[in-house]
Chain A
Amino acid sequence: ETGVTQSPTHLIKTRGQQVTLRCSSQSGHNTVSWYQQALGQGPQFIFQYYREEENGRGNFPPRFSGLQFPNYSSELNVNALELDDSALYLCASSLFTTSYEQYFGPGTRLTVT
């Protein structure tokens, strides 16, 4: 059984640029949730995807968007990067009917300069 994987591991971008982060869900899981974890903070819920549609969103602006693909993998896109977007981005997969049982990937560390 393959766990949740994320790519890339680290990323450095310049303010104003756009970035795409990728997540492969654990085998058998059909739901993906994304979190932002700033340094010294707990993860903050960005949004969740199920059946290729957004199913719940936290307090994040529209420049944070996502996709889910038929194989349940997912992308997080952030446009017009700001310095405050520097964080660890975590992906978690689950089954929709038990999405309180989330399995996290190792994260992507994004640095915006």
Chain B
Amino acid sequence: AQSVTQPDIHITVSEGASLELRCNYSYGATPYLFWYVQSPGQGLQLLLKYFSGDTLVQGIKGFEAEFKRSQSSFNLRKPSVHWSDAAEYFCAVGPRSYNNNDMRFGAGTRLTVKP
């Protein structure tokens, strides 16, 4: 069955510290992989995506993610966290199709940033 696991429900980091959010997936084949961010009262904003090629992908707001096929993981990283990064982060997977009509999301990781 297709599934996405985000093992950390809540993470707290100090401003300026590095960040890594974990994501593992179970899928029949290598899916398309995404990270979204959701601020309170907002919809989801796409941070980055992986389709193929270089396994280290760069996104907006200084985020990057690394796809590791052997570990079925797609962890999100940021070298130095800013207070404005506090939000909910969702990992998602979708079928390798131009018509992605079955996107699956993880339960999310809430990020708190300490001053």
Contacts and interface: CB of A to CB of B under 8 A. Distances in A.
Contacts of B99: 50, 55-56, 96-97, 99
B43 A97 contact: no
Contact of A42 (B41, B43, B106): B106
Nearest to A109: B41
Contacts, number: 69
Contact of A90 (B44, B46, B101, B106): B44
B17 interface: no
Contact of B108 (A41, A44, A92): A41
A4 B102 contact: no
12 contacts: A40-B107, A42-B106, A43-B90, A45-B101, A45-B103, A48-B101, A90-B43, A100-B34, A102-B100, A104-B44, A106-B42, A106-B43
Interface of B: 4, 6, 32, 34, 36, 41-46, 49, 51, 90, 92, 94, 97-108
